[in-house]
Amino acid sequence: MAGWQTFLVLALVTWLMRIAFVAVVPPDRLPPLALRCLQHLTPAILAALVVLGLLDAVSAPSDGAGGPVLVAVVSMSVLVTAWWSRSLVWTATLALVGVVILDVLLV
Amino acid sequence: MSTRTTAPRSYDVAPAVDSPRRAAVGDFLQMTPALFVFAVTIGAAATGAPGVGPATTVGGGWLVSGGSAQVVTTSIVQDGGGLVLAVLAGALANGRMMFYGAAMEPLFRQHGRWFRLLAVHWVVDTSYVAAMARTIHDADWFRRYWLTLGALLGVMWSSGLALGVLVAPVAPDLRHMALAIVGLFAPMLATRLGERPAMVAAVTAGAVMLASVGLGASAAVGLLAAPVAGMLAGVAAEGRS
């Protein structure tokens, strides 16, 4: 029951955050600087998520063959593929294959 | 300059040449492999945690619609951390949804109250990035696109969580699952680094994220501080480019 209550309250809080600038305080009322900032949100948040993902992957225990070196190789391969191909399908597929190699095949 | 013209995104005036549902399905299919495996992993990891049963994992996960928030909240409930702490941590992890809402407001503006109140539920990392990359032709096009994408993402996410619960006893421990998230977001980032301000925003946000984690701050704090720093740096770079 505690889990349900927690998730219900969290869902409500998250919904309030999502709706805050859509229906409660429209961005039109925000300072011009805030509106200019929002134009750069996409690259900023994506970079933060990518760096966090890399840090999580590198810091995860790697006791399989190759260990941290292999994690670094897979990470670099994913980044290079993303940069050169710009393809979500190819990059995500490569990343998933890397996860399988690291956590299933080499453990 | 009026505030309307400085709004981050609004409807384009180009004629609708592509079907909104087809566009939504296309975006959904590209994102699904990594997201689905991520959902399965979260579902499997949460199974057996004290205080978080299968129904809570699947239903709560759908209600919250945020993988990182679900992970951190489940972890705190599991450790007996209490409702207030768990909700605060989850809310912090989902704090960037406020930014997404603000950035997408021009797309929701022309819709009725009920649509706005309900449709914001599907504002998540992937749907935000996908919608902002699309040419939104008009209000009706966006409504159809958003409802299709949101419904597909919701069903996929819940299905992944449910499958994770089912296969938990035999599921491998995917400790490097974060790589799949990198594989999901890195190509999205690569396509948005054309202009110098965008590059500056990305580099700054990445550096702040790195520093936040290096200094011992939680990932949730970094996910708020990094985009703020990145956005400010992007604005500063506008004047120099």
pLDDT in tens, A22-46: 988 877 788 999 999 999 999 999 9
Q: For the residues B137-166, what does the mean pLDDT come to?
A: 94
Could you tell me what percent of chain B has a pLDDT over 90? Answer: 69
Predicted confidence at residue B88, as pLDDT, reads 94
pLDDT at B6 over 50: no
Instruction: Note whether A76 contacts B: Cβ–Cβ < 8 A.
Output: no
- Taking the C-alpha atoms of residue A4 and residue B74, their distance in angstroms, rounded to an integer, is 10
Tell whether B217 lies on the interface with A, counting CB pairs under 8 A: no
Q: Is the pLDDT assigned to residue B192 strictly greater than 80? A: yes
Q: What is the pTM of this model?
A: 0.89
The tokens describing A100, both together, are 């399988």
C-beta atoms of B102 and A21 within 8 A: yes
Axis crossing angle, helix B178-190 with helix A67-85, rounded to the nearest 10: 30
Q: Which residues of A touch B116 (CB under 8 A)?
A: 19, 22-23
Q: Which of A50-64, B12-26, B38-52, B204-218 has the lowest mean pLDDT?
A: B12-26
Higher pLDDT, B209 or A68: B209
CB pairs under 8 A between A and B: 329
- Which residue, among B99, B188, B107, B179, has the nearest Cα to A43 in the 3D structure? B188
Would you state the torsion angle of the CA atoms of residues A10, B164, A106, A71, taken in this order, to the nearest 10 degrees? Answer: -30
> Out of B1, B4, B74, whose CB is closest to A28?
B4
* pLDDT at B14 > cutoff 50: no
- Decide if B240 touches A, using CB distance below 8 A: no
Interface residue A24 vs chain B (CB under 8 A): no
Of A17, A20, A41, the CB nearest to B227: A41
Q: Which of A6, A54, A81 sits opposite B83 (nearest CB)?
A: A6
Q: Which tens digit of pLDDT belongs to each residue from B75-107?
A: 888 888 888 999 999 999 999 999 999 999 999
Asked if the model's pLDDT at residue B15 lies above 60, the reply is no
What per-residue confidence (pLDDT) applies to B3?
A: 34
The span from the CA of B105 to the CA of B123, in Å, is 11
